[in-house]
Amino acid sequence: MVRMLIGGCFCVLTVFAQQGTSPYWTQETLVPNLGGSSSGGVGTNMGVTSDGTIYSFFFILLGLNFDLYLSKSEDEGATWSEPVFFEPATDGAVSPVVVVDRNDRIHVAWLQRIPTDTVRHAYSDDGAETWSKPQVVSAAVRHQFNSPIITVDRQNRVHIMWHDGHPEEEGMPAEAWYNRSPDNGITFDNPTMLSLDDNLNSAFPRADFTGTDGDDLIIVWRDNRPQVHWDTYGVISNDGGANWTEVLVAGGNGDQWDPMSLVTRDGDFHVSWMQAQFGDPFVVDIWWIKSTDTGQNWTEGQILSEGERSRFSFYVYNRPKDLIWLFWKDERDFNTDNGNPEADLAGKYSEDGGDSWSSLRFVTDKGDFDVRFPAFVIDQEGTVHCTYSYSENDNQDPFAIYYTRREDCEDLDVADPTGITMADLTTLAGMWSDRESDLFMLVRTASCL
């Protein structure tokens, strides 16, 4: 460690040599799991209320039993409560997903496997102390419900999406489904199939509407309509989700799959997906596009990821600043000897609607461990919260959930109050790396304490 006092500036610069992670992310803390194996899922399983309380919902496998539990932190993730049973669910529940609306109502959707396969929803207005009576969002199962996603727009309409079937299993073709509550979770409409009912797999519909108060919405999913590869299809609504029109968002050579959409405060549509090169499925990039006219026209696609292999993108939107985060799983350390992806979490942000993006920020650097099922949310203060799972047992049970956060402060390459750039610091220290956090500086200023 090197410490330097810059003349004429009342701030101490501290230089660290550290592997992998961006300096603005805190050290991870463990979310307790009663000695079992715990994990999230494809959707976001965490929420933050306006008082700063963080809620994590997850399933715990104890022996042969699996149930949903809740743990919370009231000290910025430093410590977590012992998990308690999520009362609205019964035995055999999985895949909890969470969103907190701007009035602090905590909405949770999950899959109830026992006694029958259903998508369910409940909400709490008192910090998860009590819950509404669970509602069945859908019971019209063909094969098996999977991978629910929940989001709420600023008109307090709750949107839940999922797929029915298994895209990797013969005889169980998946289709994308949706339902909404126009009255903030009190009642739900009838479930609607979003994808074409063609016995060709359509899976993992995803969207984030938390930043919009408009009626123009877009949901995207991966679609196997070409059969030889995947395309990204979507549906657009101009009436808040009451009606939908299908569109092809991204197609062509290679696979365009597992996308996510975001609608901003100005009504812009942002879509990202992972794209495998045709003929070389190992090489996978994260792509991004934007539409400012509700999907009639799109910008030219950009590759935001770096390295050979990145997968599964996740949006986080800072509405007051109109700042967009896009995170993904970075698998540049993929172990070809044993097939372990050794994934970490990384991302970039844009302050100008995607016209430019920051340099790459690493959230984790777990070495040989494979980081899975991340959840990203942003609170009203602009802090980005993240949970993720990994196993220290060769990617086998038990898994555990960990937490980290990033304060809403300025990065060095965006606004450095001392005038000292990363290049200057590199010259002083006589070292360099292609990862931001191999060498970094903490600036003790009012902008980020």
Segment among 153-157, 236-240, 373-377, 395-399 with least mean pLDDT: 395-399
pLDDT tens by residue, 339-348:
999 999 999 9
Query: Is 24 in contact with 45 (CB distance < 8 Å)?
Result: no
Amino acid 8: pLDDT: 36
Domain boundaries, the chain: 1-24+415-449, 25-214+302-311+322-408
Distance between terminal CA atoms of the chain?
19
Kindly indicate the confidence band of residue 7, based on its pLDDT and cuts at 50, 70 and 90.
Answer: very low
CA 88 – CA 90 distance, rounded (Å)? 7
Q: What is the CATH number of domain 25-214+302-311+322-408?
A: 2.120.10.10
With cut-offs at 50, 70 and 90, classify the pLDDT of residue 409: low
When pLDDT is averaged across residues 119-142 and rounded to a whole number, the result is 98
3-state secondary structure of 325: strand
- By the 8 A CB rule, do 313 and 260 touch? yes
Assess whether pLDDT exceeds 90 at residue 270: yes
Average pLDDT of the chain, as a whole number: 88
- Burial class (CB within 10 angstroms; exposed 0-12, middle 13-18, buried 19+) of 8: exposed
Gap between the Cα atoms of 445 and 12, Å rounded: 9
Structure tokens at 152: 């709420």
Query: In the Cβ-directed half-sphere of 418, how many Cα atoms lie within 13 Å?
Result: 25
Sign (positive/negative) of CA torsion 34, 35, 41, 44? positive
Q: What is the average per-residue pLDDT within 171-176?
A: 96
pLDDT tens for residues 64-97? 888 999 999 999 999 999 999 999 999 889 999 9
